[in-house]
């Protein structure tokens, strides 16, 4: 039997042969791919010829082609559709992949070749993109510890291997806690809930093999439950279960994992000559230093808490009017905030949903991309990796651009949240390779599936990331698509959300799923007027998380992260009825890998830019202005990491942004 992961993919668009894949194929495919990658790397480092860009950097670009292909499929599946076999393989692979990556970056002969090229870069006659790729390879090796010797080098390898194991454990514990907790709901418990929440609870019960409706910790179910359930006792139980993820004691408790991860990160930074992990991490980001990050967050913190405290007083008064004469608690906020929104904006989420069917919102995201960038979308047949997944061929002027997969529905085998990944990245070296891009979300299933406005925003957000991958136009995979500084990567996604708020887009696409009627003008106006509603709360819960993440890493590693978390929150004065958006034991951004460690601030850093970038369209007098759209594609969406982020932004906009557009966009700037 040939392993379909290892044979050539000759089907349409060279998609992975999803229909033929068996879980048993992955382990041997990884073995073969790792063996091949090792041989390729050895051939480069042992090459008797003097190093050249072609025989070293370009050879590196192709060395892990098979591994990329296998890993691209596997890691997407393990996040979007995990099985016990896939989870076991993931645990097994974590140390192996980390060991391989260490082997490459700690390969002294290889580093010396790259270093020789780097030292002599002026004389190599490199094109700008090549010079950038060389710089980034050199930087990656130095930051991985390639310049370390002896004991320090060994310790670095051991730290990285242990960190990989710990972050995998962190994710799996979280998934287990999310999967294991549910609470059956009686008829009385459903009182006051809108129909869509009741339907979602029934669907969740069915999926868990229960006779009746259940409440789960899935964000798409628990958030509306907290918004709508008049049962304060149930809200408290649900909320406490939700925020206890990763902190339930026993085998899935993440607190000790978090402490060890922080200790190891600090040690790693010290080995590389940095004062602490935040200084190391931010050195290659647009923000550059912890002080720059703290400065941004604190400039937003003061107006955000002022707004949130004022809102808390209003909500407390509403609760007292209900005869509940205690303090407003975290499980009360969403409920009274929803009531206040209905009262003040005379508009409720449940009335909106029939106009926001999943199909209509996919259509809106596609149509916006057509108007801005001339892209066209044609649905194609699977099989893909799960029956819920849909696929489209993306073309422009008849030319193939990408395959886009949409995996929109929540299921127990999917980790929570929403994300975009490239199963295959765009590149031109060795022949044009078109990307395969996946958006994964956790929307509630239905017939038809109806989204909340928040869900629709998530769909646009992830599609913005997808555009960054699909419109990528670079030679080297190393800098393709979203391979940019972490605090720049959310710019395309958050910028794209702005088009959902364009009245013309909603007027055209937000149509009642049954009647096809457009959203009534009054409802549309209210929706748009409400877009800054409760931003005090949203900003506070986010900035609190971002500051805790920063302080965890900017200084000595805390021996007790939970105590450190409390200390940071007390110092900034977190309003009593608001908690962190992600508390430490389930702060996957920070502990399930290194992506957003000392980097959770990135969303806000990007928001400073997205608010300013969308203003460029508004200033042009047309939110679909073709000249501005061209500049956006040329300097940002197609450019990947081919130049430093601040240079790309300056080219696009002509100036760097301040924090005002962000405060204005969130309704936190009091008009003068
Ligand atoms: Zn994002």
Q: What is the 460 CA–ligand 1 centroid distance (Å)?
A: 10
DSSP letter for each residue of 262-322: HHHHHHHHHHTT-SSHHHHHHTTSSS-SHHHHHHHHHHHHHHHHHHHHHHHHHHHHHHHHT
The strand pairing partners of 391, in sequence order, are 380, 405
Tell me what pLDDT residue 670 has: 65
- Are the C-beta atoms of 334 and 180 separated by less than 8 Å? no
Question: Among candidates 291, 281, 256, which has minimal Cα distance to 595?
Answer: 281
Q: What is the 53 CA–ligand 1 centroid distance (Å)?
A: 33
CA distance 407 to 386: 8
Q: What is the 652 CA–ligand 1 centroid distance (Å)?
A: 20
| % of the chain residues with pLDDT over 90 | 85
Q: What is the 120 CA–ligand 1 centroid distance (Å)?
A: 38
Tell me what pLDDT residue 1 has: 59
Q: What is the 281 CA–ligand 1 centroid distance (Å)?
A: 19
672 confidence band (pLDDT: 50, 70, 90) = very low
Q: What is the 628 CA–ligand 1 centroid distance (Å)?
A: 22
Q: What is the 595 CA–ligand 1 centroid distance (Å)?
A: 12
- Are the C-beta atoms of 197 and 335 separated by less than 8 Å? no
Q: What is the 461 CA–ligand 1 centroid distance (Å)?
A: 6
CA distance 621 to 644: 29
Q: What is the 602 CA–ligand 1 centroid distance (Å)?
A: 10
CA distance 521 to 618: 22
Q: What is the 442 CA–ligand 1 centroid distance (Å)?
A: 14
- Length of the chain, in residues: 672
CA distance 233 to 221: 17
Tens of pLDDT, residue by residue over 75-96, are 999 999 998 999 999 989 988 9
Mean pLDDT on 587-607: 92
Backbone angles phi, psi at 131, to 5 degrees: -60, -40
Rg (Cα) of the chain, in Å, rounded?
A: 25
Catalytic residue among 58, 64, 161, 462, which?
A: 462
Mean pLDDT on 331-354: 89
Q: What is the 465 CA–ligand 1 centroid distance (Å)?
A: 7
Question: How many C-beta atoms lie closer than 10 Å to residue 194's C-beta?
Answer: 16
* Cis before 383 (ω within 30): yes
Q: What is the 590 CA–ligand 1 centroid distance (Å)?
A: 14
Residue 671 pLDDT > 50: no
Tell me what pLDDT residue 344 has: 85
Q: What is the 421 CA–ligand 1 centroid distance (Å)?
A: 11
Dihedral sign, Cα of residue 615, residue 619, residue 623, residue 625: negative
Tell me what pLDDT residue 106 has: 84
Q: What is the 564 CA–ligand 1 centroid distance (Å)?
A: 27
The strand pairing partners of 392, in sequence order, are 379, 404
DSSP letter for each residue of 197-238: HHHHHHHHHHHTT-SS-EEES-HHHHHHHHHH---HHHHHHH
401 confidence band (pLDDT: 50, 70, 90) = very high
Mean pLDDT on 150-157: 91
User: Which residues does 206 contact at the CB level (< 8 Å), separation at least 6?
Assistant: none
- The mean pLDDT of the chain is 94
Q: How far apart are the first and last CA of the chain?
A: 73
Q: What is the 60 CA–ligand 1 centroid distance (Å)?
A: 29
Residue 294 pLDDT > 50: yes
Q: Is 58 a catalytic residue?
A: no
Q: What is the 419 CA–ligand 1 centroid distance (Å)?
A: 7
What is the DSSP code (8-state) at residue 519? P
- Are the C-beta atoms of 550 and 564 separated by less than 8 Å? no
Question: Among candidates 669, 505, 550, which has minimal Cα distance to 290?
Answer: 550
Residue 621 pLDDT > 70: yes
Residue 460 pLDDT > 90: yes
Tell me what pLDDT residue 133 has: 98
Mean pLDDT on 579-595: 93
Counts of helices then strands in the chain (DSSP H, E): 27, 7
- Are the C-beta atoms of 31 and 67 separated by less than 8 Å? no
Tell me what pLDDT residue 557 has: 97
Q: What is the 8 CA–ligand 1 centroid distance (Å)?
A: 32
CA distance 13 to 17: 11
Mean pLDDT on 634-640: 98
Tell me what pLDDT residue 494 has: 95
- Are the C-beta atoms of 453 and 502 separated by less than 8 Å? no
Tell me what pLDDT residue 348 has: 72
Residue scoring higher pLDDT (431 or 658): 431
């Amino acid at each position: 039997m040939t392993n379909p992961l290892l044979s050539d993919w000759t089907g349409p668009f060279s998609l992975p042969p999803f229909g033929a894949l068996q879980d048993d194929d992955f382990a041997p495919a990884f073995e073969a791919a790792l063996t091949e990658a090792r041989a390729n790397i050895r051939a480069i480092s042992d090459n008797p010829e003097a190093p050249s860009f072609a025989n070293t950097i370009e050879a590196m670009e192709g060395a892990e082609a098979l591994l990329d292909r296998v890993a691209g499929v596997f890691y997407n599946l393990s996040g979007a559709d995990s099985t016990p076999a896939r989870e076991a393989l993931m645990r097994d692979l974590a140390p192996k992949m980390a060991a391989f990556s260490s082997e490459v970056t700690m390969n002294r002969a290889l580093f010396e070749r790259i270093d020789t090229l780097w030292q002599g870069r002026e004389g190599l006659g490199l094109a700008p993109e090549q010079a950038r790729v060389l710089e980034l390879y050199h930087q990656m090796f130095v930051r991985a510890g390639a310049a370390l010797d002896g004991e320090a080098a060994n310790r670095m390898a051991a730290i990285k291997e242990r960190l990989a194991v710990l972050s995998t454990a962190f994710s799996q514990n979280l998934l287990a806690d999310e999967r294991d907790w549910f609470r059956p709901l009686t008829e009385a418990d459903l009182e006051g809930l809108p129909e869509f929440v009741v339907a979602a609870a029934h669907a969740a019960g069915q999926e868990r093999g229960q006779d009746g409706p259940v409440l789960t910790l899935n964000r798409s179910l628990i958030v509306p439950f907290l918004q709508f359930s008049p049962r304060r006792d149930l809200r408290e139980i649900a909320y406490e279960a939700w925020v206890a993820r990763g902190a339930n004691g026993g085998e899935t408790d993440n607190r000790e994992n978090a402490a060890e991860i922080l200790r190891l990160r600090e040690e790693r930074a010290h080995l590389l000559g940095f004062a602490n992990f935040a200084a190391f991490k931010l050195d290659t980001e647009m923000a550059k230093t912890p002080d720059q990050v703290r400065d941004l967050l604190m400039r937003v913190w003061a107006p955000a808490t002022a707004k949130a405290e004022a809102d808390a007083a209003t909500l407390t008064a509403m609760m007292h009017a209900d005869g509940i004469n205690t303090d407003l608690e975290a499980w009360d906020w969403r409920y009274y905030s929803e009531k206040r929104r209905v009262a003040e904006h005379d508009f409720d989420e449940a009335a909106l949903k029939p106009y926001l069917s999943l199909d209509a919102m996919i259509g809106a995201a596609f149509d916006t991309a057509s108007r801005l960038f001339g892209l066209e979308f044609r649905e194609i047949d699977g099989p893909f990796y799960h029956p819920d997944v849909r696929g489209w061929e993306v073309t422009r002027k008849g030319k193939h651009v990408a395959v886009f997969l949409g995996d929109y529905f929540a299921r127990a085998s999917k980790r929570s949240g929403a994300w975009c990944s490239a199963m295959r990245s765009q590149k031109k070296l060795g022949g044009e390779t078109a990307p395969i891009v996946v958006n994964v979300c956790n929307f509630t299933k239905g017939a038809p599936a109806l989204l909340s406005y928040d869900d629709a925003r998530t769909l646009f957000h992830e599609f913005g990331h997808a555009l960054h991958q699909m419109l990528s136009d670079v030679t080297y995979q190393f800098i393709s698509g979203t391979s940019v500084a972490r605090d720049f990567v959310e710019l395309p996604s958050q910028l794209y959300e702005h088009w959902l708020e364009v009245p013309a887009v909603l007027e055209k696409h937000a149509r009642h799923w049954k009647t096809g009627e457009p959203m009534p003008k009054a409802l549309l106006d209210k929706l748009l007027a409400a877009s800054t509603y409760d931003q005090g709360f949203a900003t506070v819960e986010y900035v609190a998380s971002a500051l805790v993440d920063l302080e965890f890493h900017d200084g000595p590693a805390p021996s007790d992260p939970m105590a450190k978390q409390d200390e940071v929150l007390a110092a900034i004065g977190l309003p009593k009825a608001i908690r962190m958006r992600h508390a430490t034991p389930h702060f996957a951004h920070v502990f399930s890998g290194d992506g957003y460690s000392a980097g959770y601030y990135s969303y806000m850093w990007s928001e400073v830019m997205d608010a300013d970038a969308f203003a460029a369209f508004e200033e042009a007098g047309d939110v679909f202005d073709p000249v501005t759209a061209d500049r956006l594609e040329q300097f940002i969406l197609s450019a990947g990491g081919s130049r430093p982020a601040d240079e790309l932004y300056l080219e696009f906009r002509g100036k760097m942004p301040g924090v005002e557009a962000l405060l204005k966009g969130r309704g936190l700037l009091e008009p003068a």
